[in-house]
Chains A and B, each alone.
Chain A
């Protein structure tokens, strides 16, 4: 099993450009998450999904959109990138809610917005 995979691994954007980050998991997990990790800060939840076709806002959702059209995929979109969105983005999944279930993280996408 590949676990949680993310594409791309690195990306450089100019301010105002758009892009989509793809997350895929092969563990048949219901819940999927997008986090960002910035220097000197803990991981912060952007959006999450509790099942195919559902999405919800996390702690820092502004400037991002997500879609979960298939159970195994969770997409994170930036419609108009800003320098403040320079960060490392991690996708994670869990069988059910994080209250009782372990989260599995992908390798991350390092995004730089110029």
Chain B
């Protein structure tokens, strides 16, 4: 069964500090890995999408890495801001015949930035 595990479940850091969120997956056959940001009371918003051949991808202060050999990904947030307080969800896409039901969602890491 395809699975996505995220750690830590929750994290509290001070504003201005950096942090790294982890994602381990067992999804086959692997297509791509996505990181989403979900603000409280809102829908998820895409941060990055990485395919098998991509090791690193950045979106402003967010940098995602992918190690397809060990099936691990990380999301690094640099110089955190209060607006970074949110849940961060790792989503792994498997090749599927219909192309509509191949996503496995992690449970998310709840990040709180304190002033």
Contact, CB under 8 Å: B89 / A42: yes
Task: Tell me the bound Cα distance from A59 to B1 in angstroms.
Answer: 13
Contact with A along B84-112 (1 / 0, CB 8 A): 00000100011110111111111110000
Are A40 and B107 in touch, CB under 8 angstroms? yes
A108 and B45 CA atoms in complex are apart in Å by 12
Question: Of B36-44, B55-63, B71-79, which binds chain A?
Answer: B36-44
Structural contact, A102 and B49, CB atoms closer than 8 A: yes
CB atoms of A42 and B107 under 8 A apart: yes
Bin the interface of chain A by size: 20 to 34
Per-residue 0/1 for A55-94: is the Cβ within 8 Å of any B Cβ (1 yes, 0 no)?
Answer: 0101100000000000000000000000000000010100
Are the C-beta atoms of A50 and B43 separated by less than 8 Å? no
* Chain B contact patch, size range: 20 to 34
The complex places the Cα of A48 from the Cα of B31 at a distance, in Å, of: 20
Given the known A-B contacts A40-B107, A43-B105, are A96 and B46 also in contact in the complex, defined by CB atoms under 8 Å?
A: no
Total contacts A-B at CB 8 Å: 71
Q: Does chain A have a CB within 8 A of B21?
A: no
Contact of B99 among A42, A43, A96, A102 (CB under 8 A): A96
Please report A residues at the B interface, Cβ cutoff 8 Å: 4, 31, 33, 40-45, 48, 50, 56, 58-59, 90, 92, 96-100, 102-108
Q: B-side interface residues toward A, CB under 8 Å?
A: 4, 31-32, 34, 41-46, 49, 89, 93-96, 98-108
A sample of 28 inter-chain contacts (CB < 8 A) reads A33-B100, A42-B105, A43-B44, A43-B89, A44-B105, A45-B103, A48-B101, A50-B98, A58-B101, A59-B101, A90-B43, A90-B44, A96-B99, A98-B100, A98-B102, A98-B103, A99-B31, A99-B94, A99-B95, A99-B96, A100-B31, A100-B32, A100-B99, A102-B46, A105-B43, A107-B41, A108-B41, A108-B43
